[in-house]
Amino acid sequence: MLTELELAHLRAEVAARPLPRHVGIIMDGNGRWAEQRGLPRLEGHRRGSDSVREVTRAARKLGLPALTLYAFSAQNWQRPEGEVSGLMDLLRDYLHRERPEIMDNGIRLHAIGELDRLPPRVRDPLEDLRGESAGNSEMVLTLALSYGGREEIVAMARKVAEDARAGALRPEQIDAEAVEERLWTAGLPPLELVVRTSGEVRVSNFLLWQLAYAEIHLTETLWPDFGEEALLVALDDFQKRDRRFGKTSAQIRRAR
C-alpha cells in the first residue's frame, strides 16, 4: 500500500499522461473475500459496492470519459436463488444511494445487457436514473447487467438480419462499423483497457467484440479491496505500454 505522498505522486503522474478513453472492469472476488473472513458471500458483494463508489469517484476526478463495470453476468442467473435475490437488492440499493453522487458529478448512467430479465425493483430505478442523467456529459458509467459478450453478439446478428430482411442493409454494407452500430455499446468510446481482479486469467464473456485491441491488466486484488490506488496502478500500467495496432514500434514512433 502506498503512502499518502506516494499516492498523490502517482495520481499526478497518471493525470498528466493520456488516459484510456474507455476502461472496463471485471469485478471479481467478492465471494472469496467474504469466505476468507468467515462472512456470508452477500457481505462480500456489499463491500464490493463500496469499491464501485470509490473507483467511480476516482475515475470521474481523473477525467476518464467512460467506465464500464461488469456487475452481473448472464451466467450469474445460475447462482443460488438467495444469492441472486440478494444481489438484486444490492443493485436496487446502489441505484437509490448513488443517485446524488451521479447527478452532482455530471455522470451519465448507462446499462447494457439483457435488461428485460432484471426484476422490476431493479429495472425501474435503473431506467429512472438513466433518464434523469441522460443530459450529463462528464463521464459515462455503464453497468453491464445480465450481460454476456456472446449474448450481445447474437443480439447484434439478429439486428443485422432484421435490417437486411427489411431492406435497410445490403450484404456489402456489413462491415465493422455496421456491427458496432448494432452492439449494446453503440455510442461509447472504443474500449482501451480491461482490468480483471482476483487473480483470474480469463475474460469471462465480457465485451468480446470490443476488447479486440484493448490492453488487459491483471491483478491479484479481490474486488472489495480494489480502490483508487489499484485503479491508478492499472492506468499507469496502460500508459507505459506500446500500443501498435499491428504496426511496428518504429512506425508508431515516427507518427508521434
220 phi and psi angles, rounded to 5 deg: -75, -15
By C-alpha distance, which of 142, 144, 133 is closest to 101? 133
Can 76 be counted among the known catalytic residues? yes
User: 118-135 in b/e burial notation, b at 16+ Cβ within 10 A?
Assistant: beeebbebbeebbeebee
- Rg, C-alpha atoms of the chain: 19
Specify the 3-state DSSP secondary structure of 182: coil
By C-alpha distance, which of 172, 107, 104 is closest to 138? 107
Q: Which of 30, 50, 76, 105 is catalytic?
A: 76
- Terminal C-alpha separation, the chain: 35
Can 136 be counted among the known catalytic residues? no
Catalytic sites, residue numbers: 28, 76
